[in-house]
A and B are shown apart, each in its own frame.
Chain A
Amino acid sequence: MKLSQNKRIAINLVFISIFVWTLLLVNPGHIMAMKYCHVFASCPSATSFQMLLEMKLFSAQLIGWGLMVVAMMLPKLILPIQFIYQQSFKRYRFLCSLLFVFGYILVWMVVGVFMIEIIMGVNLLLPMSYMPAFGLFVIALVWEISPIKQRFLNLGHDHRILSAFGWKAFRDSLFFGLTHGVWCIGSGWALMLFPMLLPKGHNLAMLVVTFIMISEHLEYPRFPKWLFIPRMKLLRIIVVQTKIKLMTF
């Protein structure tokens, strides 16, 4: 059976995401020079921040961060990329999508520089401590129920109509990626940082956070106000679709 374009996009992006997840979690054949989260959690306290930088750990960290963003966020980009495909000329579709993803990841990488500095700094000051993660957890919780977070989530649904022709189509796609990235960071910065501050169990935390972030971006926009609502749409979809499949077969 021929799959619809939307399904093909979704499958490809999920496949790439799983591949990068495998790289991060399994690191088969030690193809990565270092474990992406090595320093995040277990820097020896005696090592100075300057030494860490000299050890070129920072650039390795940044690569790890980039891969983490790709692994965690790519499934979230399924809907905007489907949107770009729908409203672009066939020969522009791939390039426009690539520019969108580039813009999106670029924003996360810029933020990543600051995030990594925070992570490294925190680990120097409080090595192997759960306190920073706990502190951030409280902040993340407050952020989750805040109207600001809802505002960013709403903006994440703002799918701009793109110019169709020439360089304007590419410019609009890049700009779409940049703005989408900003809204995404606005809603998910605390969730993204939380696993990195955990001395242990950050892989599991990353998976959980990915699930939450995809779920909350699937929810329809709503009026921003202080509100505790479990945004578990992905879980609901999985449960119902499993039930449907079991009923069908």
Chain B
Amino acid sequence: MNSFIGKWVDQQNVLITITGSKTSISVAYGNGRGPFQGTLNASNPSVITVNFTDDGGNKTGTLSNNNSDINWDNGTTWKQLVYLRKNAWDDNNGGQFIDKSGNYTDLYWYAKAVKVMQSRPISDPTSWWFYAAIHGELLLPGSLYPKPYQYLNWKNVNYIGAAANLSVVPSNALTTIFWDQCQHGTWFFPPWHRGYLVALENILRTIISQLNGPSDWALPYWNYLNQSTVYIESHIPPAFTLTVLPDNTPNPLYVPERYGPNVQVGNGENSANDQCQWDTIYSEGAAPAKLGAGDLNGYFYGGGETGFSHSGSETGDLEQNPHNFVHGMVGGQNAAGQIGLMGVPATAGLDPIFFLHHSNIDRMWDAWNVTGQNNNPSDVNWLAGPTANGNSQFAMPLDAQGTAWYYTPADVQTTNNLKYNGSYYSYTYSDLSLTSYDTIQPGFLKENLSLRLNKLSAINLETGIKMASKQNNELVGASSGSITLKDKETKATVQLDKTAWKSVKNSLLKASVSNIPDEVYLQLEGVKGGADSNFLSVYVNNTFIKSVSLFGLLGASLKNTAHGGAGLTFKFNITSIVDELHLESAIDINSLDVQIKSKDAPLDGDEITVERIGIYRSGQ
């Protein structure tokens, strides 16, 4: 890899672009100077010699250890350009196209570039439609949804203009490499989406440069959780609701099939928040496993380890809330009960707000690493990506010919010196606060193991207890038969198995530093239906546990898709409730009452079914 290739800024803040191969480079200045030719030192690839023909000939540059600077022998230094992704509300004059000085904002240039991409046919890998299909599509014969969801099939989506020319799909070779890649319910969710944004951002920036926009443009982010006193940032930025641009031409950021423009923020039922940011573990088995409050969904921050078999249900805390929640809320439902584009994975990428939402999710992951000082997995099966288990590579098209950038999670695990298409690429965010809403760790999340042991009257507490990297999971109770949610509220009784429950009971009774008590999880297993934008809230013995978004439910319920029709499984950590019931000696082994509430009443003929409710212990 030639580490010099990329964008640099000199001491006069002039943008410099270095292109080239493994052995030679070309240097071009943004002010028109150059290009100048140079070569890499054969024995030391961190040194280049460039012939500045207008400035005395050859000069030698040396790359700094962290690839952030080139130090020249005449004493000058070039710094690697670090793109800055800015807040769509705060840094764009309240989500507008024009700032207070009368200049165009990043959102304006986004809209202009989206328009150019949308003018290209779907057969062009740099078109908006092709890029949306990389996430998921309902266009190829094998993808189409049956009745009554045919309105989601792309040929029926009004937002897709005639320029897309959907009747001419790209070649099978291109669709096989690029389409339907989105990684959900897996520990690859954060890195795949990071690469997806970087690839799109570069295509957009090239277009913006051609339109004489800022050459350092970067994708804005919509931080719906931001508690600004100036703007209500849980609302979608105005640039996405206006029907026209400042020049009175149609606004491509406006999507008629977007039915819920506001995000409901909070810590109660069906509310988006950033409690996930208090997690301290990316995935089970990820080292170091320092104890934390997190693991809201049972798959920690980044999602469950994905091997060669993948159920698509190991959804990490970041992915579930806020990611899935915001998809469901922004997609929403219209009066006819139809789901908006953002509410379904196979149509979500069509809506331009998708990329600002994911920019925010990426920002949260970056903040979790940088500010929260939490580590990504060091497991080679994560670093190498899905190919480690025989699955497809992450691939993004770079140009109209479909030249692919293949990447792994290792390539994109930081936003600094990310490996993009043979060069380093760096960006950062205007705000890397760990949290925006749950700025103080919610009380119920504060309960770390020491506090829990105290509560359970364990003695001889020590500090620095580490969680076992691998836990034993065991079924300890279940409902009998499947449950159908026809109304907004459904009650079910879960029976605990006397023999299996003994392990949990004993672990609670004998809780100590060397006998860490079990964690207990409730699982809604085999959830099927078609209500992607709906939400379920689970209560145990009348205590609210957590809400989950049903984003992706329809696709997961269809047979002959990658999910195999298995539906989704949702996991809820109910340890604290079990602790309380145990201390009050109130556990009724024959009936643990579970109440499931859906945000919207399921439509007739579109009931949600839960094949089984399972209770699991997780412990040593």
Q: Are A164 and B390 in contact, with the CB atoms below 8 A?
A: no
Q: Are B473 and A222 in contact, with the CB atoms below 8 A?
A: no
Q: Which residues of chain B are within 8 angstroms of A4 by Cβ–Cβ distance?
A: 470
Q: Are B560 and A233 in contact, with the CB atoms below 8 A?
A: no
Q: Are B475 and A164 in contact, with the CB atoms below 8 A?
A: yes
Residues of A within 8 A of B (CB): 2, 4-5, 79, 86-91, 151, 154, 157-159, 161, 163-165, 168, 218, 220-225, 233-234, 236-237, 240-241, 244, 247-248
Q: Which residue of B lies closest to A2 (CB)?
A: B470
Q: Are A165 and B384 in contact, with the CB atoms below 8 A?
A: no
Q: Does B262 contact A (CB under 8 A)?
A: no
Q: Are A157 and B564 in contact, with the CB atoms below 8 A?
A: yes
If A87-B475, A164-B480, A165-B480 touch, does A240 touch B562 (CB 8 Å cutoff)? no
Q: Are B564 and A221 in contact, with the CB atoms below 8 A?
A: yes
Contact for B308 among A91, A154, A158, A218, CB less than 8 A: A218
If A164-B480, A164-B614, A225-B142 touch, does A244 touch B384 (CB 8 Å cutoff)? yes
Contact for A223 among B143, B470, B499, CB less than 8 A: B143
Q: Which residues of chain B are within 8 angstroms of A2 by Cβ–Cβ distance?
A: 470
Q: Which residues of chain B are within 8 angstroms of A90 by Cβ–Cβ distance?
A: 474-475, 500
A5–B563 CA distance with the chains assembled, in angstroms: 23
Q: Which residue of B lies closest to A215 (CB)?
A: B390
Q: Are B478 and A164 in contact, with the CB atoms below 8 A?
A: yes
Contact for B472 among A5, A88, A151, A222, CB less than 8 A: A5
A240–B390 CA distance with the chains assembled, in angstroms: 7
Q: Are A161 and B611 in contact, with the CB atoms below 8 A?
A: yes
Contact with A along B489-527 (1 / 0, CB 8 A): 000000101011000000000000000000000000110
Q: Are A237 and B389 in contact, with the CB atoms below 8 A?
A: yes
Chain B stretch 521-538: residues in CB contact (< 8 A) with chain A: 525-526
Contact for B388 among A86, A87, A89, A241, CB less than 8 A: A241
If A89-B497, A223-B143, A237-B308 touch, does A161 touch B480 (CB 8 Å cutoff)? no
Q: Which residues of chain B are within 8 angstroms of A240 by Cβ–Cβ distance?
A: 384, 387-390
Contact for B612 among A164, A223, A225, A234, CB less than 8 A: A164
Interface residue total, chain B, C-beta cutoff 8 A: 42
Q: Are A158 and B390 in contact, with the CB atoms below 8 A?
A: no
Q: Which residue of B lies closest to A150 (CB)?
A: B560
Supply 22 A–B pairs (Cβ within 8 Å), ascending by A.
A5-B472, A87-B614, A88-B475, A89-B475, A90-B500, A151-B560, A158-B565, A161-B526, A164-B480, A164-B614, A168-B480, A218-B309, A220-B310, A222-B142, A223-B141, A225-B141, A237-B389, A237-B390, A240-B389, A241-B388, A244-B388, A247-B380
A236–B614 CA distance with the chains assembled, in angstroms: 35
Q: Are B499 and A233 in contact, with the CB atoms below 8 A?
A: no
A129–B209 CA distance with the chains assembled, in angstroms: 71
A225–B144 CA distance with the chains assembled, in angstroms: 14
Q: Are A154 and B480 in contact, with the CB atoms below 8 A?
A: no
Q: Does B561 contact A (CB under 8 A)?
A: yes
Q: Does B88 contact A (CB under 8 A)?
A: no
Contact for A233 among B308, B310, B388, B476, CB less than 8 A: B308
CB distance from B618 to the nearest CB of A (A): 12
> Lowest 8 CB-CB distances: which A-B pairs, in order?
A223-B142, A157-B564, A164-B478, A236-B390, A161-B611, A237-B390, A233-B390, A221-B564
A90–B497 CA distance with the chains assembled, in angstroms: 10
A90–B482 CA distance with the chains assembled, in angstroms: 22
Q: Are B480 and A234 in contact, with the CB atoms below 8 A?
A: no
A66–B310 CA distance with the chains assembled, in angstroms: 30
Q: Are A165 and B495 in contact, with the CB atoms below 8 A?
A: yes
Q: Which residues of chain A are within 8 angstroms of B5 by Cβ–Cβ distance?
A: none
Q: Are A86 and B473 in contact, with the CB atoms below 8 A?
A: yes
CB distance from B527 to the nearest CB of A (A): 10
If A223-B143, A225-B141, A225-B142 touch, does A158 touch B566 (CB 8 Å cutoff)? yes
Q: Which residues of chain A are within 8 angstroms of B563 by Cβ–Cβ distance?
A: 221
Q: Which residues of chain B are within 8 angstroms of A154 by Cβ–Cβ distance?
A: 559-560, 564
Q: Which residue of A lies closest to B309 (CB)?
A: A79
Chain B stretch 447-485: residues in CB contact (< 8 A) with chain A: 470, 472-478, 480-482
If A90-B474, A221-B564, A223-B142 touch, does A161 touch B559 (CB 8 Å cutoff)? no
A248–B381 CA distance with the chains assembled, in angstroms: 12
A222–B564 CA distance with the chains assembled, in angstroms: 8
Q: Which residue of B lies closest to A218 (CB)?
A: B308
If A161-B525, A233-B390 touch, does A224 touch B612 (CB 8 Å cutoff)? no
CB distance from A172 to the nearest CB of B (A): 11
A87–B380 CA distance with the chains assembled, in angstroms: 28
Q: Which residue of A lies closest to B142 (CB)?
A: A223
Q: Which residues of chain B are within 8 angstroms of A248 by Cβ–Cβ distance?
A: 380
Q: Which residues of chain A are within 8 angstroms of B559 by Cβ–Cβ distance?
A: 154, 158, 221
Q: Which residues of chain B are within 8 angstroms of A165 by Cβ–Cβ distance?
A: 478, 480, 495, 497
A16–B81 CA distance with the chains assembled, in angstroms: 58
Q: Are B566 and A159 in contact, with the CB atoms below 8 A?
A: yes
Q: Most chain-B CB neighbours within 10 Å: which of A89, A91, A164, A236? A: A164
Q: Are A223 and B561 in contact, with the CB atoms below 8 A?
A: yes
CB distance from B308 to the nearest CB of A (A): 6
Q: Are A89 and B480 in contact, with the CB atoms below 8 A?
A: no
A204–B147 CA distance with the chains assembled, in angstroms: 48
Q: Are A91 and B142 in contact, with the CB atoms below 8 A?
A: no
Q: Most chain-B CB neighbours within 10 Å: which of A221, A222, A233? A: A221
Q: Which residues of chain B are within 8 angstroms of A221 by Cβ–Cβ distance?
A: 559-564
Q: Which residues of chain A are within 8 angstroms of B470 by Cβ–Cβ distance?
A: 2, 4
A89–B475 CA distance with the chains assembled, in angstroms: 5
Q: Are A224 and B560 in contact, with the CB atoms below 8 A?
A: yes
A249–B561 CA distance with the chains assembled, in angstroms: 38
Q: Which residues of chain A are within 8 angstroms of B560 by Cβ–Cβ distance?
A: 151, 154, 221-224
Chain B stretch 336-359: residues in CB contact (< 8 A) with chain A: none
Q: Are A164 and B310 in contact, with the CB atoms below 8 A?
A: no
Q: Which residues of chain A are within 8 angstroms of B611 by Cβ–Cβ distance?
A: 161
Q: Most chain-B CB neighbours within 10 Å: which of A2, A5, A220, A224? A: A220
A86–B569 CA distance with the chains assembled, in angstroms: 13
A223–B140 CA distance with the chains assembled, in angstroms: 10
Q: Are B500 and A89 in contact, with the CB atoms below 8 A?
A: yes
In addition to A87-B525, A88-B475, A91-B500, 8 A-B residue pairs with Cβ atoms within 8 Å of each other are A5-B472, A86-B473, A86-B475, A151-B560, A220-B391, A222-B562, A233-B308, A241-B388
A196–B22 CA distance with the chains assembled, in angstroms: 54
A58–B143 CA distance with the chains assembled, in angstroms: 48
Q: Are B564 and A89 in contact, with the CB atoms below 8 A?
A: no
Q: Which residues of chain A are within 8 angstroms of B566 by Cβ–Cβ distance?
A: 157-159
A237–B384 CA distance with the chains assembled, in angstroms: 12
Q: Which residues of chain A are within 8 angstroms of B474 by Cβ–Cβ distance?
A: 89-90
Q: Which residues of chain A are within 8 angstroms of B472 by Cβ–Cβ distance?
A: 5
Q: Which residues of chain B are within 8 angstroms of A161 by Cβ–Cβ distance?
A: 482, 525-526, 611-612
A89–B617 CA distance with the chains assembled, in angstroms: 11
CB distance from B386 to the nearest CB of A (A): 10
CB distance from A51 to the nearest CB of B (A): 48
A168–B480 CA distance with the chains assembled, in angstroms: 10
CB distance from A35 to the nearest CB of B (A): 35
CB distance from B269 to the nearest CB of A (A): 26
A80–B560 CA distance with the chains assembled, in angstroms: 18
Q: Which residues of chain B are within 8 angstroms of A164 by Cβ–Cβ distance?
A: 475, 477-478, 480, 497, 612, 614
Q: Which residues of chain A are within 8 angstroms of B142 by Cβ–Cβ distance?
A: 222-223, 225
A234–B309 CA distance with the chains assembled, in angstroms: 12
Contact for B390 among A159, A225, A234, A247, CB less than 8 A: A234
Q: Are B564 and A158 in contact, with the CB atoms below 8 A?
A: yes
Q: Which residue of B lies closest to A223 (CB)?
A: B142
A223–B176 CA distance with the chains assembled, in angstroms: 13
